[in-house]
Amino acid sequence: MAGETDLNKMLATLSPELMEGEFVFVTFESAGYGDKPELAPLVTVVEPEGLTMVVLKQTADSHGIAYESVFKGITLKVHSSLEAVGLTAAFATRLTQHGISANVVAGFYHDHLFVQTNDAERAVAALKELSAGQ
């Protein structure tokens, strides 16, 4: 099933939705892909410096893992194509206008944004505003 590539259609149907729970980014210097399955990561990225995971805050807390910040996840429910041009720039620009930092992860079907917990409601409102402007 091919995703949408028309920027105006994607923006009009963003449908941002808050994920349940709070998330944290954790990293392990001497780990690789597939390590630490007990943490049930939502996202895993292997970098030269080590393994980065996005996990539920309560999971990190229960395993005594340190983290710097706490985030809420927002899923853009529009099925955007991995080849689409301009979507990330559009929502990043809108969030920047509202002073909101976002960490973005693209899955096959959707984009997922992680914003500071205290900015989550404002971020969803800004994304809905962007979508309504189309």
Per-residue pLDDT tens digits for 96-122 = 999 999 999 999 999 999 999 999 999
- pTM exceeding 0.75: yes
Cα angle 119-104-57, degrees, rounded to a multiple of 5: 60
Residue 47: the pLDDT is 93
The CATH fold of domain 1-20+72-134: VC0802-like (3.30.2130)
Per-residue pLDDT tens digits for 74-103 = 999 989 888 888 889 999 999 999 999 999
Domain ranges within the chain, ordered by starting residue:
1-20+72-134, 23-69
DSSP string for 19-67: PSS-EEEEEETT--TT--GGG--SEEEEETTEEEEEEEHHHHHHTT---
